[in-house]
Structure 1
């Protein structure tokens, strides 16, 4: 059994920083390269140049969207920001924070009987950090809400 985790000071933001850095770096490089190509190639007409730039912006937009997930904990509750949605939860609504082996991200068991994925804590690149973040969020939920004790 692991030792109890001390809740972090609030406000606390949990996000997959390494993944975010990689996505935004790749997006920026692709944007610059495709825009440079559109300007550098003399054989392209205006429509083709515009299509290169629009394609670069679309790629960057998708990668920026993929880098969006985070979980923000404050005194009043938690805001879960996933790819295309944002949901505000009161501490009492969070019963348990789950990160099981093989899970792609944390799942929050809620008092209404549903489960909410929290993509802001994902073990993809930084497994140890994701486990620490999940334990910290669980400690916050236990200390601030009606969260059930961890198993």
Structure 2
């Protein structure tokens, strides 16, 4: 996809993911530092401390995975990056861009009653989600009227 004209990412989910990742790193590093001085009779070594800090980093990376979703849209179509993959959909393949009542995120409606969730546009983001939906619908409208 060349020269994206609109890009959206979730806002509140990213803030929470970064905060949780920071808590994991700080908590596990603190535990790793304090682990050596245990008075329980169990002996902890440097390798145990490094492993604890490493577990904190792995947990932080897992938390940051929730900040990954993104959507890029231009006149050619939409590129949706969700948790596990990135896919491109041409506007001709998309029947509509919708945000069903009660749904936590938007979706692309495809032929045959199929849909693709857009995790980058989340209801919790309020006005940001409204702006994203307006932009996606505008781009779809422009692309489909140009192709007629």
TM-score, with length taken from structure 1: 0.78
Of the two, which has the highest radius of gyration? 2
Q: Deviations over 1:79-104 (max 9, x none)?
A: 10111111111122121011022001
Q: Structure 2 unaligned runs (5+)? A: 38-43
Distance 2:144 2:23 in 1: 43
Distance 1:128 1:101 in 2: 16
Q: Deviations over 1:40-79 (max 9, x none)?
A: 4433323431331232122112111111111111342211
2:41 corresponds to: none
2:88 corresponds to: 88
Contact 1:93 1:111 in 2 (8 A): yes
Matches within 5 A, 1:1-151: 10-43=4-37, 44-111=44-111, 113-124=113-124, 126-145=125-144
Contact 2:74 2:139 in 1 (8 A): no
> What displacement does 1:10 show?
4.7
Stretch deviating more after TM superposition (70-79 or 30-39): 30-39
Distance 2:49 2:142 in 1: 56
Q: What SS class does the counterpart of residue 137 from structure 1 fall into? A: helix
Q: What SS class does the counterpart of residue 87 from structure 2 fall into? A: strand
TM-score, with length taken from structure 2: 0.80
Q: Structure 1 unaligned runs (5+)? A: 1-8, 147-151
Q: Deviations over 1:115-151 (max 9, x none)?
A: 1111110112x223212211221121121137xxxxx
Runs of 4+ in 1 over 4 A off after TM superposition: none
